[in-house]
Amino acid sequence: MTDRLPALSLAVVGAHHPNADKSNRQFEILLCAPGEPVELRPEPKNKHDPHAIAVLSCRGVQIGYLSAERAPRIGGMLREREVQAVFQRQAAFGAWIRVAFDGDAPVLTDAMLVDHGGDEFSHVDAEPDFYPDEEYPDN
């Protein structure tokens, strides 16, 4: 196994779509509390994206998907490493989750629980201790 990876904050998108069972993702996000475990479930037979990774609350209700940009890399990590994930906070586009690898537990800081006005997940205008995530090549 390679070096230990730092924890990451990941966007959960697609919250405005209903689940197949008609449950409401946005409502489920409102029920989630920071630090609650979430499940990352690969969907290799997803007709829109074979790399899709569904995110489910601790109650087993889907709250959305990892963004298409992150899903292939995180999917590879799910196959190769131990991954733990927790709900971080709700956002205008859906939610944020925090993931940690290789037996580490995801840790949330106070700064991670606050909306800093940059809820477009592709360019977070962060404070120094907000989402201190490294960029990993998708190889």
CB neighbourhood size of 78 (10 A):
17
Burial of 70 (0-12, 13-18, 19+ CB in 10 A): buried
pLDDT for 72-96, tens place per residue? 999 999 999 999 999 999 999 999 9
Taking 50 as the pLDDT cut, the residues of the chain under it are 1, 121-132, 139
Cα–Cα distance measured from residue 64 to residue 29, given in angstroms and rounded to the nearest whole number: 9
Cα–Cα distance, 44 to 121 (Å, whole number): 24
pLDDT at 80: 92
Task: Identify the structural domains of the chain with CATH numbers, from first to last.
Answer: 8-113 (3.30.70.2330)
pLDDT for position 132: 42
Give the predicted TM-score (pTM) of the model.
Answer: 0.82
CA atoms of 85 and 18, how far apart (whole Å): 23
pLDDT at 124: 42
Distance CA 71, CA 35 (A): 21
